[in-house]
Amino acid sequence: MVRIAAAVAAIAAAGCAQVFGIANTTGPNDADTGASLAVTRISVGATVVTAPQDLTGQTATFYAPDVDPTMLDATTGVLTGGESWNADVPGTPLVMFTLPAYPMMVTRGLALPAAAQQYGYVVLEHPNPTVADANAMVTVQATLPTPFASGESLQFYAIGPWAVYNLTTLPNPGTTAVNSTFSYSSATSVTGRPLESFTTADRVLLLRYLNGVLTGAGEAAPLAQSSTSTTVVVSPFTAVTAALTGTLALDQITLAQRFGQTMPLTSTLGISWTAAAEAAPGVFVGPVLQSGIVGATDTQISFAFGNPFAATNQWGTALSVVATASRTFTPASPALPATLTATLSQLVDPTTMPTLDFSGGLPTAVAINGTTLSDGASVSIDPTAAVTVAITADRTANTLYTVQLISLAPNAANTALDQQVVFTVTGTSPTFTLPPQLFPSGLYTLRAICDAGTYPGATSGVLTMQAFPDATGSLESGVFTVP
């Protein structure tokens, strides 16, 4: 299970700031020092490493109001020291920028009420990555503390290259010896990048599950993967005790009522939950401790699991609950179905027995230039005027708002429409004023996201440190065409 909580998810004021839907700050005039954006790379592997992001080859553009308040002036940021951009512009401008990403670059934006902004770029990675050989084989060996039983499963998990594989060659019931060989190319890359070889800098785990609960775990001594065949000996392998138990009340009636307000309307509500050992605080990625599906009539979530990594690795425990409603729309061209969703999620520390209140706002509608987006709409973008995107949400006490333009294109089999993020912009106001060139011709949906509590430093322009509780809501708007 992976959740990367970063400002990609992601105030009425006087004067120029109102044009952008962001607030003026008090105190010294921001214009005296200009605007800046510093980027920190947060590398999450066997350990967490933070360092200034190398911005060589990347770009940043700061947008300020023109004399005509419907227009935008663009100023290219000047790279300073290879890790931050600076621009001689007044106020708290919108900044659009790029960062290296796989498989393609995504334009990012920040509209925060501060001239000096800081952004934490979370990347699942390890030092000196090497793409694994397509023919590499891995053999996993271990001795279980108790005999293997029918219904149990074993999972190989390499943290660093972020490769996961559910073993298909399992011990016979009643035996304890694990000796399973598999093609490494069959593993899943959590990052979406091509599979990378594990090295001595990584952690290679073997995890034992029964009915979605982690019941055993072991780790191999550090080793470098061969391009041909590698034997991973996991020792010791110990049982995991379900030391953390509890129940969390869940109000499905209220959730259904909230989803019933979305435009377009979504249905088919489903709720799932996952507890995991977080390899990095606030970044929901790491070994799953327990997971489950909420029944249609359930009024609570009951959990019982242990986290064997908390004491030795300082991997804290987090529990994510996600409610999802979906709908399907088929545009006239291409006449392929697109699946659109709305979600409410909450990430909590289960050791505190929190309340599942899903406090993040649920976007109920998204509008461009004052027109609510509906399925099949055609949206004309004036290339000489700024574009206003507004989010309407059922709750307004949100820390951050994010809009993402999602391109819809046929999948490889030409059976449905796949999604690809074109740009993502995050700010503290539900209204964004954006450059028109961000909206090229195409078929799209706009994903709106409300976030309550994730970044306590947002109003100071700091999106680097994350915190509990994290509650978000999202909606994928009506499918529309930009001619």
The answer to the question of residue 454 being in a domain is no
Per-residue b or e along 168-204, where b marks 16 or more CB atoms closer than 10 Å to that residue's CB: eeebeeeeeebebebebeebeebbebebbbbbeebbb
Q: Rounded to an integer, what distance in angstroms lies between the CA atom of residue 438 and that of residue 99?
A: 16
Q: Which domain holds residue 213?
A: 137-239
**Is residue 264 within 8 Å of residue 329, measured between CB atoms?**
yes
pLDDT tens digits, one per residue of 286-326: 999 999 999 999 999 999 999 999 987 789 999 999 999 99
Residue-wise pLDDT for 391-448, tens only, equals 999 999 999 999 999 999 999 999 999 999 999 999 999 999 999 999 999 999 999 9
Measured distance CA(432)–CA(94) in Å, rounded: 9
Phi, psi (rounded to 5 degrees) for 59: -135, 155
Dist CA 144 CA 136 (whole Å): 26
The per-residue b/e assignment along 117-129, b for 16 or more CB within 10 angstroms, e otherwise, is bbbbbbbbbbeeb
| 175 located within any domain | yes
- Average pLDDT over every residue of 82-102: 92
Asked if residue 367 belongs to a domain, the reply is no
Q: Are strands 442-452 and 300-305 parallel, antiparallel or unpaired?
A: unpaired
**Backbone dihedral angles phi then psi of residue 5, each to the nearest 5 degrees:** -95, 100
Beta strand 213-220 with 203-210 is antiparallel
Nearest Cα to Cα of residue 465 among 110, 46, 122: 122
Q: Report percent pLDDT > 70 for the chain.
A: 92
CB 113 within 8 A of CB 428: yes
Q: How many residues in the chain?
A: 483
Report the predicted TM-score, pTM, of the whole model to 2 decimal places. 0.90
Measured CA to CA, the distance from residue 318 to residue 281 in angstroms comes to: 9
The DSSP symbol for 196 reads B
Q: How many CA atoms lie within 13 A of 216 on its CB side?
A: 25
Q: State mean pLDDT over 257-269.
A: 94
Backbone angles phi, psi at 267, to 5 degrees: -150, -160
> What is the average pLDDT across 363-372?
98
In a domain, 226, yes or no: yes
pLDDT at 10 over 50: no
Torsion of CA 187, 188, 191, 196, to 10 degrees: 10
Alpha-carbon distance of 360 to 357, in angstroms, equals: 9
Q: Is 150 domain-assigned?
A: yes
Partnered with residue 137 across adjacent β-strands are 183, 229
What residues contact 413, with CB distance under 8 A and at least 6 apart?
Answer: none
Sign of CA dihedral 259, 469, 287, 463: positive
pLDDT of residue 101: 87
Amino acid symbol at 455:
Y
- Which residue type does 460 have? S
Across the chain, mean pLDDT equals 90
Q: Has residue 181 been placed in a domain?
A: yes
Higher pLDDT: 312 or 223? It is 223
Residue 171 lies inside a defined structural domain of this protein: yes
| Number of independent structural domains in the chain | 1
The yes-or-no verdict on residue 12 having pLDDT over 80 is: no
On whether residue 206 sits in a domain, the answer given is yes
**pLDDT of 22 higher than 60:** no
Report the CATH number that the domain containing residue 145 is assigned in CATH: 2.60.40
**pLDDT grade for 267, boundaries at 50, 70 and 90:** confident
pLDDT band at 9 (very low <50, low <70, confident <90, very high): very low
pLDDT digits (tens, 9 = 90+) for 170-193: 999 999 999 999 999 999 999 999
pLDDT at 25 over 50: no
Residue 19, H or E segment:
helix 16-20
**For residue 23, what pLDDT is reported?**
27
Q: In terms of pLDDT, which residue wins out, 48 or 29?
A: 48
Read off the pLDDT of residues 26-45 as tens digits, 9 standing for 90 and up: 333 333 469 999 999 999 99
112-129: pLDDT as tens digits = 999 999 999 999 999 999
Stretch (H or E) spanning 313: helix 310-313
Q: Are 116 and 33 in contact (CB under 8 A)?
A: yes
In the chain, the amino acid numbered 298 is D
Rounded CA separation 400/202 (Å): 34
User: In this predicted model, what pLDDT tens digit does every residue of 59-70 receive, in sequence order?
Assistant: 999 998 776 767
What is the chain's alpha carbon radius of gyration, rounded to the nearest angstrom? 24
Cα–Cα distance, 103 to 126 (Å, whole number): 17
CB neighbourhood size of 73 (10 A): 12
